[in-house]
A and B are shown apart, each in its own frame.
Chain A
Amino acid sequence: MKRDKILLNVSDINDIEKYKKLGITNFLFALKDYSIGYTSFSFEEIGKIGGNIYVLINRILTDDDIDNFLKLKIPTNVRGFIIEDIGLYYELKGSKYELINFQNHLNNNYMTVNYWLKRFDSLVVSTDITEEEICDIVNSSIKPLVINILGYPMIMYSRRNLVTNYCKYYGMDIKKNLSVLEEISGNTFKLVDSPYGTAVFNSKISDYRELVNLLDFNKVKFYLINSEFMSFEEIRDAIEGKPIQNASDGFLHKKTIYRVGGES
């Protein structure tokens, strides 16, 4: 894997120098107060980091949120924004920043992807689709794309404070994280609560590294690694091609169905 194509979503700022020694130069920081689910950082913290810096804004925003964002001083080292909310795109279009669309779960076909690529500089492809679908999207895309290859996937975003409410209901000390088991499927999920809502992560790492060898290198802008809940050592081993624990190939080889008893 060519390491200068990796975009690493940083969860621990103290690990950055170690990542740089591995040859990683592109870093993604979730922005404090404007992101959900991930360890987040202020612009002040982000401004001190060297390398190619991108900022993740994955909240769905109100007008007040956008007003407040526009008052922030963006550090000079920020190259671009990876964003969910189209209203924020509307404000930032035409700016000097690279804009990357990250509408989690929604970028699932090549025509939608190309629709957004006429407006954005790049786009993060969904992890909810098959390897074949991802390959078709990448082959058909009009600009290089961002491909998730490793990390715990965020599978739900609620505006509700689900963990806080749960703790309040049962009179427990308020906590922000909770692990829950869905007993029929055996799936475990991690919930992360914040003032802006609750993010739910699958508790298995989505290991999509096999895509690296399948996709046209020139049509990939970044291979995205999300380090949230993962150690530096796990990520280093993954980059070096070693097998990792607690991983799954997600939907790469499993088509979802939507009509019960009918065709998929």
Chain B
Amino acid sequence: MIELLSPAGDKERLFFAFLYGADAVYLGGRNFGLRANATNFSNEEIEECVKYAHSMNKKVYVTVNIVFHNDDLIGLEDYLKFLSKIKVDAIIVSDPVVIEIIKEKDIDLIVHLSTQASTLNSRAVKYFLEEGVTRIVLAREASRENIVRIKEETNAELECFIQGAMCTSFSGRCVLSNYCTNRDSNRGGCAQVCRWSFKTSSEERFEMMPKDLNMTKELASLIDDGVNSFKIEGRMRSIYYIATVLYIYRKILDKISTKTLDDEYINYATNIINRVANRESVSQFYNSLPGVNEQYYNGRKEESNQDFLGLVKNYNSGYITLEVRNYFKKGDTVQIFGPNMGEIEFTIDEILDSDGETIVVCNHPKDIVKIKCPYKCEENSMMRTKVFDILNKM
């Protein structure tokens, strides 16, 4: 079975990830993870989330993927024992010290090798399999040829990123952040200096920010290549981003399995994903070495959008109850999508405030309003601005 693996920066994101089709999530504790400035999870929260996931036959992987300094080793063994005790499904590691402690102390944990290890060949995979690692998250630089060869030579369980931001460098092989900001990139403090603009001796400024990774077109090939888990990047992304991306990729997987995926849907999916990510996206290294068109110059043309209009709380007697997130008004054409309901579109012709009074504009985030809706909507579906025509309307 192909696994769709989602980031979860906090409990709310975890909930929405599972709701919108993730088979597993990866998350970080308060220490030892590479997103030191995300909300992250306390030990108690991790335990709670593991129980919640297991109740739905879903999985939780915990990142223990910093590059450790001497002082960071304090508490590591206890933390690993804790993760074993609460039965997390695996941990994701890059520093072999974690593998060593697990082996020496006979801690019952499944280990996945992080993309931070930049694994690009079957020999490195064999090395880590012999060390007890059970899954390899390949380097983002892996081409199709690399992936196929690794699978053929090792039959290892492979995980590949399919969506999200890319490092300019091989993951882990960059300390620009350390030099420019004193923030340690390999301990979760990366300031993303590769996304900044640099002065040169000519008039043209130097930039090196990659476009996002997007494997919507390549998902079927990745399945043929033998990849077992499809990973989405972005533990600090919003619930709207997570829901949208998971919804799209789950749909693509379904369409692949029913042999109904076509170019029209792939183009639609790419448009939706680029819109929610606020960035263009490409397949990066999979088919060829990224060139001049796979990165940004002259600054990224980012126009922040407020497409996410609200979260549906329930549907009753022709009205949805909505928690408002961004401005909209009577007469707007909107779309709602949810994990089981598909996507619908309608024009708003009636809005009621919490007192049942008619209003024409919603512009206060978190307000609860009722909107007349001709379609039945499910709880926790999401309302967005219409930007693209919906394919496969319900």
Residue A157 at the B interface, CB < 8 A? yes
Residue B179 at the A interface, CB < 8 A? yes
Neighbour of B184 across the interface among A161, A179, A258, CB < 8 A: A258
Contact yes or no, A187 B291, CB < 8 A: no
The stretch of A1-9, A111-119, A209-217, A224-232 in contact with B is A111-119
Task: Tell which of A64, A168, A258 has the most Cβ of chain B within 10 Å.
Answer: A258
Interface string of A130-166 (1 = CB under 8 A from B): 0001001100000000000000000111111110011
Residue B50 at the A interface, CB < 8 A? no
Residue A54 at the B interface, CB < 8 A? no
Residue A233 at the B interface, CB < 8 A? no
A104 to chain B, nearest CB (A): 6
Residue A88 at the B interface, CB < 8 A? yes
Contact yes or no, A256 B199, CB < 8 A: no
Contact yes or no, B68 A111, CB < 8 A: yes
Residue B100 at the A interface, CB < 8 A? yes
Interface string of B49-75 (1 = CB under 8 A from A): 000000000000000001111101100
B188 to chain A, nearest CB (A): 5
Contact yes or no, B122 A87, CB < 8 A: yes
B232 to chain A, nearest CB (A): 22
Contact yes or no, B193 A169, CB < 8 A: no
Residue B178 at the A interface, CB < 8 A? yes
Tell me the complex Cα distance, A104–B153, Å. 27
Known: A63-B150, A85-B121, A161-B289. A155 touches B96 (CB 8 A): no
Q: Closest residue of chain A to B189, judged by CB?
A: A258
Which residues from chain B contact A172 at a C-beta distance below 8 Å? Answer: 202, 204
Contact yes or no, B73 A111, CB < 8 A: yes
Tell me the complex Cα distance, A156–B127, Å. 25
B104 to chain A, nearest CB (A): 10
A70 to chain B, nearest CB (A): 10
Residue A14 at the B interface, CB < 8 A? no
Tell me the complex Cα distance, A90–B126, Å. 8
Contact yes or no, A109 B292, CB < 8 A: no
Contact yes or no, B199 A180, CB < 8 A: yes
Interface string of B207-221 (1 = CB under 8 A from A): 110100000000000
Tell me the complex Cα distance, A170–B298, Å. 10
Contact yes or no, A168 B169, CB < 8 A: no
Residue A18 at the B interface, CB < 8 A? no
Interface set, chain B 249-263, CB cutoff 8 A to A:
none
Residue A108 at the B interface, CB < 8 A? yes
Contact yes or no, B67 A256, CB < 8 A: no
Task: Tell which of A116, A180, A260 has the most Cβ of chain B within 10 Å.
Answer: A180
Which residues from chain B contact A115 at a C-beta distance below 8 Å? Answer: 96-97, 99-100
Contact yes or no, B179 A111, CB < 8 A: no
Neighbour of A66 across the interface among B121, B128, B187, CB < 8 A: B121
Residue B183 at the A interface, CB < 8 A? yes
Contact yes or no, B153 A63, CB < 8 A: yes
Which residues from chain B contact A189 at a C-beta distance below 8 Å? Answer: 176, 198
Neighbour of A185 across the interface among B37, B150, B179, CB < 8 A: B179
Chain B contact-residue range equals: 35 or more
B52 to chain A, nearest CB (A): 27
Known: A60-B170, A256-B184. A160 touches B179 (CB 8 A): no
Tell me the complex Cα distance, A184–B199, Å. 11
A234 to chain B, nearest CB (A): 21
B185 to chain A, nearest CB (A): 8
Interface set, chain B 290-315, CB cutoff 8 A to A:
290-292, 294-295, 297
Interface set, chain A 183-210, CB cutoff 8 A to B:
183-185, 187, 189, 200, 202
Contact yes or no, A156 B169, CB < 8 A: yes
Contact yes or no, A156 B174, CB < 8 A: yes
Residue A65 at the B interface, CB < 8 A? yes
Q: Closest residue of chain B to A113, judged by CB?
A: B97
Neighbour of B121 across the interface among A62, A104, A179, A200, CB < 8 A: A62
Contact yes or no, A111 B100, CB < 8 A: yes
Contact yes or no, A109 B120, CB < 8 A: no
Contact yes or no, A105 B121, CB < 8 A: no
Residue B352 at the A interface, CB < 8 A? no
Residue B385 at the A interface, CB < 8 A? no
Q: Closest residue of chain A to B194, judged by CB?
A: A156
A127 to chain B, nearest CB (A): 9
Residue B46 at the A interface, CB < 8 A? no
B388 to chain A, nearest CB (A): 29
Interface string of A169-182 (1 = CB under 8 A from B): 11010000011111
Tell me the complex Cα distance, A262–B207, Å. 30
Known: A62-B146, A159-B170, A160-B295. A88 touches B68 (CB 8 A): no
Interface set, chain A 211-247, CB cutoff 8 A to B:
none
Tell me the complex Cα distance, A128–B193, Å. 17
Which residues from chain A contact B274 at a C-beta distance below 8 Å? Answer: none
Contact yes or no, A162 B100, CB < 8 A: no
Residue A129 at the B interface, CB < 8 A? yes
A167 to chain B, nearest CB (A): 9
Q: Which 5 A-B pairs have the closest CB atoms?
A: A258-B189, A87-B123, A87-B124, A180-B198, A256-B184
Given A170-B204, A178-B200, A185-B181, 16 new contacts (CB under 8 A): A62-B145, A66-B121, A87-B122, A90-B124, A105-B175, A109-B69, A109-B70, A109-B72, A157-B173, A157-B174, A160-B168, A160-B289, A184-B180, A202-B179, A256-B189, A259-B36
Provide a sorted-by-A list of 8 A–B residue pairs whose CB atoms are within 8 angstroms.
A87-B124, A108-B67, A109-B97, A110-B70, A115-B99, A157-B169, A181-B198, A254-B182
